[in-house]
């Protein structure tokens, strides 16, 4: 993986969405063809032999690489969204994040016990969103669940809130500042 290319093109925005937060904006990677291809190829190589049957993308930046990876792996794509955005019956989970609380939902029939699931999102900060998604998926009793992020903010220690046996992979490790 060409980390230098990705880091050079990653945009950081101070005080977004609230004062004191340094927001790592992966949309600057998505708009760059070289970066997008680098992300796509790297993620595919990481998971091509994992038997993944469903990629679950977290709203909304997790949809970009999640859907692309699902296509390349020959897997289905499942969106996790904010309340009221999914049309069929859902299950939900509320959680705390670094600047408030929120709720996410998944279709009740999205995952089954035969699935090998990869949860994907752009960034691991404090981990609340992904832990909620992980808990939702685990309620559906899939064979296996893996977690992936493009960026992990190591100093925020979000990884520590997950169970010890959770398989978590990140492409880039940065500080939260």
Across the chain, mean pLDDT equals 95
Our CA dihedral for 125, 127, 133, 135, rounded to 10 degrees, sits at: 170
In this predicted structure, the answer to whether residue 119 has a pLDDT above a threshold of 90 is: yes
Q: Has residue 3 got a pLDDT over 70?
A: yes
Domain layout of the chain by residue ranges: 51-174
The pLDDT value given to residue 101:
87
pTM of the predicted protein model? 0.95
Q: Tell me the pLDDT tens digit for each residue of 63-116.
A: 999 999 999 999 999 999 999 999 999 999 999 766 678 999 999 999 999 999
Per-residue confidence band for 165, with pLDDT thresholds at 50, 70 and 90: very high
Q: Nearest-CA neighbor of 118 among 144, 82, 92, 139?
A: 144
Residue 176 in this model has a pLDDT that exceeds 90: no
89 exposure class (CB count in 10 Å sphere: 0-12, 13-18, 19+): exposed
Based on the residue annotation, tell me whether 61 is a catalytic residue of this protein: yes
Please determine, for residue 177, whether its predicted confidence score (pLDDT) is greater than 90: no
Q: How far apart are CA 2 and CA 42, in angstroms?
A: 9
Looking at 72, 98, 154, 159, which residue is catalytic?
98
Q: Which of 38, 61, 105, 152 is catalytic?
A: 61
Cα torsion 130, 149, 139, 128 to 10°: value is -10
With tokens 């949809």, the residue in question is: 63
pLDDT(135) > 90:
yes
Q: According to the model, what pLDDT value does residue 18 have?
A: 86
> DSSP character for 81?
B
**What percent of the chain is predicted at pLDDT more than 70?**
98
The reported pLDDT for the residue numbered 98 is 63
3-class SS at 105?
Answer: strand
| pLDDT score, position 145 | 98
Q: What pLDDT is attached to residue 99?
A: 65
24 is catalytic: no
**What CATH code is assigned to 51-174?**
3.40.50.2020
């Amino acid at each position: 993986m060409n980390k230098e290319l990705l880091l050079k093109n990653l945009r950081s925005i101070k005080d977004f969405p609230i004062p004191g937060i340094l927001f790592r904006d992966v949309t600057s990677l998505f708009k760059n063809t070289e970066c997008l291809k680098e992300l796509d190829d790297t993620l595919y190589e990481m998971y091509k032999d994992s038997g993944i049957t469903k990629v679950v993308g977290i709203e909304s930046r997790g949809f970009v690489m999640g859907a692309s990876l699902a296509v390349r792996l020959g897997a289905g794509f499942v969106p996790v969204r904010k309340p009221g955005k999914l049309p069929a019956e859902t299950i939900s989970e509320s959680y705390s994040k670094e600047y408030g609380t929120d709720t996410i939902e998944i279709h009740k029939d999205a995952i089954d016990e035969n699935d090998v699931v990869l949860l994907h999102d752009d960034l691991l900060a404090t981990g609340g969103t992904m832990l909620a998604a992980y808990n939702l998926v685990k309620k559906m009793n899939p064979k296996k669940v893996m977690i992936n992020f493009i960026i992990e903010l190591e100093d925020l220690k979000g990884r520590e809130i997950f169970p010890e046996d959770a398989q978590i992979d990140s492409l880039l490790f940065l500080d939260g500042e």
